[in-house]
Chains A and B, each alone.
Chain A
Amino acid sequence: MTSVMHEDGPRGAAGMKRNGNASMRRLIAEGAKGPIGLVAALVVLIVVFSFLNPRFASIENLQNVLFQVSVPLILVVGATLVIQMGSIDLSVEGIMGAAGMAWILLSPNTRTMIDLGMWAWLIALGLGLSLGLMTGVIYAKLKVPSFVVSLGTWYVGLGIAILLYGNNSLPSLTSDALARWPTGLTLGLPHSFWLAAGVLLFGLLISNYTNLGRGLMAIGNNEPIARTSGMPVNVYKIGAFAIAGLLGGLAGILATMQLGSGSTDIGFGQLFVGIPAAVIGGTALGGGEGGMTRSALGVFLLIILNNGLVLAGVDPDYQSGVFGLILLIAIIAVAWPERGRLKVAK
């Protein structure tokens, strides 16, 4: 169980059963299996991009990257919890739309003359939490695959956002303090990143130091055993989706603040940052493996790659192709030493 509970998944097997030149191979495997492989891939990217454009390594760009990383970083914490138990949550874009729209309409904006202050946050976060709870309850109690339930929640969320938006004009923030908060700096780093870092810490604590975190990993490894050992499996499942919903709501609010305007499509494209980032980081879609740190590094890999390609001046016609190619090379390099143990092999 210890290995299952470990942040970076079960460790011992690969290295310890080998002999002969095993120690060298073990060293490589151990290194690449942990975040070291990912960190190495990131360092290589950073060095190459800095060489191509010295501005890449500037403080200004560091702040820019941390600003861009913050929304997907919040989302990947929820996504990792759900994926670790072998499920999937597709609802983030809908939840972000609903929560973001609810928040801006209840905060100082050009559309409504309402400013509920902290209540706006609580209502919007409550909306995200409720949608997450709904997904969790339907999934756990009615035994509907999470893929299907969360797809439904995505559209329910989007529907709520559209109803709130109505046929009126785009609401924009009228409070300078709120609009500037995400870019404001504390200790040289943007506030939006501090918020995301706080969420990541919360995710790490849940994952490593609570029954819920350990339970989710156990469910992902072997649900029947987790059930027979008396674990409240359904509660954990609902809990994971509820947290993912809550964080989806928070990401929706932050994205709305970053844009300065409300949009029903505020979560557009985020699903395909969060889930791939978690998987790139080594969180197996089959569940039972991976961890928050690795998922976070996956987010950094995706965002830095995109940012670096723009700064390197790669022609837009080639950008998608080059992005995919570098990503493939990076993932193969990171996953090569443990290819025999990957859960998804077909």
Chain B
Amino acid sequence: MTTLTTKLAGPTRRAFGAAAVAAAMIASLGASGAAAQSVEHPEGFNPDEWVIVASVINTTNPYMISNIEGAEAISEALGIPLEIVNSNNSSQTSISSIYAILASGKKPIMFVNTVASSDAPTIVEAVKQAGGYVTIWWNKPDEYKPQNVGDNFVAFQKHTGVDSGRCGAQALAEALSGEGNVILLPGVQDSTTSKTRVAGFKAEIAENYPGITILEERPSNWDPQLGGRNARDLIVKYGDQIDGVWSADDGMQIGAMQSFENAGLLDQVKFASDGLYPKTLEDIISGRGNNAIVGETFHRGYMASAIGLYTAYLAASGQIVPSELEDNKRESFFKLSCVTPANYEQYLQYDAEGAPAEFVSRLIENGPWDTEPVPLVGGGVEVLPES
């Protein structure tokens, strides 16, 4: 018996030991206490009953990291603790992690950057059951509207993809003086964000730049390496016929530019994309490749998460009643700025040290719909233009 007990106890003890170590690690990682609060909550709102939750698609993409920075800044300003949900690119992980947080008993004030459009209803329903308030960014099914769900689904918010595509098309076509051949590198082919950006690009070219020919488009899954590989294949296929490259985001553009540089063609080709990543900004400032980058769009992940969370907080604290808001404040489009080498300098301030906190303080002062450089500019369901 003794032997048997010892045999059983050995692994069991080790298992307990391992579990204890893991639990301690999780506890130390999860303890993100609220810092200095700068907002007076309205009477009747007890911040101890609430938790701020930011759900991001992954924690490796620069945009997602910026989403987290915005959530940290708003958590600090409101004095409410923050939980980050890392979806690891999986809807299932996202939803199960959110369920776990909801089970903790505190009511969530939540921002969700959805992995897939179809995640939105499940997440909203769970938040509603828990008595929380949620704002969804970027993706949701068109027919699933906050107005029809209730006050707990405070708003759906985004920057329009069509405007992003149009910005890129204008910049590229102008840089080529309206004449030339371009290739397109869309993101994941069935992503709404990519589809709307591509539609905007094509519509702008079709409407205003008849001298621009789109040679080919190769979806590159938001992946810099695939962007680079596809660019290499297209260089072989078209050689120096290519005058311009448009990518649906800066990650793929980074890969594409490297391929053109390796082929010795960077000086002869112009590039436009979306996101104005710090690396892109460096290339604009340094004039890399004979000023190869001619157009970008400006928006920041921290602005999106801060706007989303602050809107949800206003609903949670009773300062707004979502069902009484106009439709464009429930399904909202926020401003997207077109950036060129001529005006990029005015956007440098938004990447300076402490920029997220500075943005949050202006957000609290002006409200979620009137804060530069991303005020509310419209709303509804984004309509794809014909091209």
Known: A68-B229, A264-B60. A258 touches B258 (CB 8 A): yes
User: Which single residue of chain A is at the shortest CB-CB distance from B351?
Assistant: A169
A side interface size, CB within 8 A: 39
Flag the segment in B40-48, B118-126, B220-228 that touches A: B220-228
Q: Mark A235-252, 1 if CB is under 8 A from B, else 0.
A: 000000000000000000
User: Which single residue of chain B is at the shortest CB-CB distance from A268?
Assistant: B223
Question: Which residues of chain B are within 8 angstroms of A265 by Cβ–Cβ distance?
Answer: 60-61, 223
Question: Which residues of chain A are within 8 angstroms of B229 by Cβ–Cβ distance?
Answer: 68, 306
Q: A269 and B189: CB pair below 8 A?
A: no
Q: B236 and A255: CB pair below 8 A?
A: no
Q: Mark B205-247, 1 if CB is under 8 A from A, else 0.
A: 0000000000011110001111011101111110000000000
Known: A259-B228, A261-B224, A310-B218. A170 touches B233 (CB 8 A): no
Q: A169 and B278: CB pair below 8 A?
A: yes
Q: Mark A281-309, 1 if CB is under 8 A from B, else 0.
A: 00000000000000000000000001100
Bound-state CA distance A281–B279 (Å) is 40
Question: Which residues of chain A are within 8 angstroms of B236 by Cβ–Cβ distance?
Answer: 55, 58, 60-61, 64, 311
User: Which single residue of chain B is at the shortest CB-CB distance from A62?
Assistant: B236
Q: Mark A169-180, 1 if CB is under 8 A from B, else 0.
A: 110100000011
Bound-state CA distance A180–B258 (Å) is 10
For window 244-279 of A, CB contacts with B under 8 Å fall at 255, 258-261, 263-266, 268-269
Q: Does A229 contact B (CB under 8 A)?
A: no
Distance in angstroms from B382 CB to nearest chain A CB is 22
Q: Mark B251-294, 1 if CB is under 8 A from A, else 0.
A: 00011001001100000000000000111001000000000000
Bound-state CA distance A161–B236 (Å) is 33
Distance in angstroms from B322 CB to nearest chain A CB is 32
Q: A259 and B69: CB pair below 8 A?
A: no
Chain A, interface SS category: helix
Bound-state CA distance A232–B62 (Å) is 46
Known: A169-B278, A268-B225, A310-B230. A259 touches B254 (CB 8 A): yes
Q: B225 and A311: CB pair below 8 A?
A: no
Q: Does B59 contact A (CB under 8 A)?
A: yes
Of B217, B232, B254, which is within 8 A of A67 by CB? B232
Q: Does B101 contact A (CB under 8 A)?
A: no
Question: Which residues of chain B are within 8 angstroms of A165 by Cβ–Cβ distance?
Answer: 60
Q: Does A19 contact B (CB under 8 A)?
A: no
Question: Which residues of chain A are within 8 angstroms of B230 by Cβ–Cβ distance?
Answer: 310
Q: Does B320 contact A (CB under 8 A)?
A: no
Q: A162 and B254: CB pair below 8 A?
A: no
Distance in angstroms from B278 CB to nearest chain A CB is 4
Q: A169 and B279: CB pair below 8 A?
A: yes
Q: A172 and B279: CB pair below 8 A?
A: yes
Q: B237 and A170: CB pair below 8 A?
A: no
Distance in angstroms from B143 CB to nearest chain A CB is 24
Question: Which residues of chain B are within 8 angstroms of A310 by Cβ–Cβ distance?
Answer: 218, 230, 233-234, 237
Question: Which residues of chain A are within 8 angstroms of B62 by Cβ–Cβ distance?
Answer: 169-170
Distance in angstroms from A164 CB to nearest chain B CB is 11
Q: Does A53 contact B (CB under 8 A)?
A: yes
Q: B237 and A55: CB pair below 8 A?
A: yes
Bound-state CA distance A182–B229 (Å) is 14
Bound-state CA distance A180–B261 (Å) is 9
Q: B225 and A266: CB pair below 8 A?
A: yes
Of B223, B226, B278, which is within 8 A of A170 by CB? B278
Of A263, A307, A313, A317, which is within 8 A of B224 by CB? A263
Q: B282 and A110: CB pair below 8 A?
A: yes
Q: Does B65 contact A (CB under 8 A)?
A: yes
For window 92-145 of B, CB contacts with A under 8 Å fall at none
User: Which single residue of chain B is at the shortest CB-CB distance from A172?
Assistant: B279
Q: Mark A141-179, 1 if CB is under 8 A from B, else 0.
A: 000000000000000001001100101011010000001
Bound-state CA distance A167–B262 (Å) is 29
Bound-state CA distance A266–B225 (Å) is 7
Question: Which residues of chain B are within 8 angstroms of A263 by Cβ–Cβ distance?
Answer: 60, 224
Q: Mark B307-336, 1 if CB is under 8 A from A, else 0.
A: 000000000000000000000000000000
User: Which single residue of chain A is at the shortest CB-CB distance from B254?
Assistant: A261
Question: Which residues of chain A are within 8 angstroms of B68 by Cβ–Cβ distance?
Answer: 167
Question: Which residues of chain B are within 8 angstroms of A61 by Cβ–Cβ distance?
Answer: 236
User: Which single residue of chain A is at the shortest CB-CB distance from B255?
Assistant: A259
Question: Which residues of chain A are within 8 angstroms of B69 by Cβ–Cβ distance?
Answer: 167
User: Which single residue of chain B is at the shortest CB-CB distance from A180?
Assistant: B262
Q: A64 and B233: CB pair below 8 A?
A: yes
Distance in angstroms from A156 CB to nearest chain B CB is 13
Bound-state CA distance A259–B258 (Å) is 6
Q: A316 and B218: CB pair below 8 A?
A: yes
Q: Mark A303-346, 1 if CB is under 8 A from B, else 0.
A: 00011001101001100000000000000000000000000000
Q: A64 and B232: CB pair below 8 A?
A: yes
Of B59, B223, B232, B282, which is within 8 A of A269 by CB? B223
Distance in angstroms from A345 CB to nearest chain B CB is 31
Q: A260 and B258: CB pair below 8 A?
A: yes
Question: Which residues of chain A are within 8 angstroms of B279 by Cβ–Cβ distance?
Answer: 110, 169-170, 172, 261
Query: Top 5 A-B pairs ranked by shortest CB distance?
Result: A169-B278, A310-B233, A264-B60, A183-B262, A260-B258
Chain B contact residues, CB within 8 Å of chain A: 59-62, 65, 68-69, 189, 216-219, 223-226, 228-230, 232-237, 254-255, 258, 261-262, 277-279, 282
Further contacts, 6 of them, CB under 8 A, given A316-B189, A317-B189: A55-B237, A170-B62, A170-B277, A260-B261, A266-B225, A316-B217
List 9 A–B pairs whose Cβ atoms lie within 8 Å, in order of A's numbering. A64-B235, A169-B278, A170-B278, A179-B258, A260-B258, A265-B61, A269-B223, A310-B218, A317-B189
